């Protein structure tokens, strides 16, 4: 998985069509944070102007969840905090990555068994600080971290939902499909689906 990608989780719920006794599967995505302290590394904390407060961490959680919800708005999928969901993405302190550089996100699509992925809190926070507009307030950067985490997660969910299908789009830096977190739009711009949208609509109709 290339840096800057994000993931979802789906389970089945028992919705039944009129006149039909067979349950209709309704996709649910599991998005949650690991049970661990999220304290920025000292160099990042200094750049931000101090350690994250509990209120700021809660804001990051709230904003990231809202971003995932916005990314999949209009599609037949419901976001939850269910760690056992069919597709799931966990926000963790950091990811080692498979290459020389760390990853912002990674996923393992598992076909009929769903999928599992993760987002690196530390790397997203680092990039949100790096790409902050000149003179940006601390609050603006906190919001950028939340958006960045949610957007990486959305990208990872797309990998899982497509079951490893073609998701990346290197031609559009303002798309969820862009395969790298090295861009200001990931944290401070507006993103949209591009090449993956038809596939998501097909899978989640």
| Domain presence at residue 6 | no
| Domain presence at residue 120 | yes
User: Which three-class secondary structure state does DSSP give residue 91?
Assistant: strand
Tell me the two tokens of residue 190: 């507006």
Which pLDDT does position 113 carry in this prediction?
Answer: 86
What CATH number should be reported for the domain holding residue 22?
A: 3.40.390.10
Q: 188-200, pLDDT tens digit by residue?
A: 999 999 999 999 9
| Domain presence at residue 10 | no
| Domain presence at residue 186 | yes
pTM, 2 dp? 0.85
Which pLDDT does position 43 carry in this prediction?
Answer: 92
Q: Closest Cα to residue 157, out of 90, 205, 112?
A: 90
| Domain presence at residue 2 | no
- Tell the burial category of 26 from Cβ atoms under 10 Å away from its Cβ (0-12, 13-18, 19+): middle
**Tokens 């944070």, residue?**
33
Q: Closest Cα to residue 70, out of 171, 153, 184?
A: 153
Q: 154-167, pLDDT tens digit by residue?
A: 999 999 999 877 89
Which pLDDT does position 98 carry in this prediction?
Answer: 60
| Domain presence at residue 9 | no
Number of neighbours of residue 10 by Cβ within 10 angstroms:
26
Which pLDDT does position 96 carry in this prediction?
Answer: 76
Instruction: Write out residues in the chain with pLDDT < 70, as ranges.
Output: 1-26, 97-101
Which pLDDT does position 1 carry in this prediction?
Answer: 41
| Domain presence at residue 60 | yes
Which pLDDT does position 147 carry in this prediction?
Answer: 98
């Amino acid at each position: 998985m290339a840096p800057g990608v994000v993931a979802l989780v789906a389970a089945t719920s028992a919705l039944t069509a009129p006149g039909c006794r067979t349950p209709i599967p309704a996709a649910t995505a599991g998005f949650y944070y690991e049970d661990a302290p999220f304290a920025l590394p000292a160099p990042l904390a200094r750049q931000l102007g101090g350690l994250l407060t509990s209120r700021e961490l809660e804001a990051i959680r709230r904003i990231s969840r809202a971003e995932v919800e916005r990314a999949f708005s209009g599609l037949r999928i419901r976001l939850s905090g269910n760690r056992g969901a069919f597709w799931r993405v966990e926000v963790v302190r950091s990811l080692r990555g498979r290459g020389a550089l760390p990853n912002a996100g990674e996923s393992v699509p598992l076909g009929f068994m769903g999928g599992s992925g993760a987002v690196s809190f530390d790397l997203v926070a680092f990039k949100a600080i790096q790409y902050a507009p000149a003179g940006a307030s601390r609050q603006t950067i906190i919001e950028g971290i939340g958006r960045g985490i949610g957007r990486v997660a959305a990208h990872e969910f797309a990998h899982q939902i497509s079951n490893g299908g073609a998701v990346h789009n290197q031609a559009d830096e303002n798309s969820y499909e862009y395969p790298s977190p090295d861009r200001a739009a990931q944290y401070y711009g507006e993103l949209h689906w591009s090449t993956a949208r038809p596939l998501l609509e097909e899978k989640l109709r």
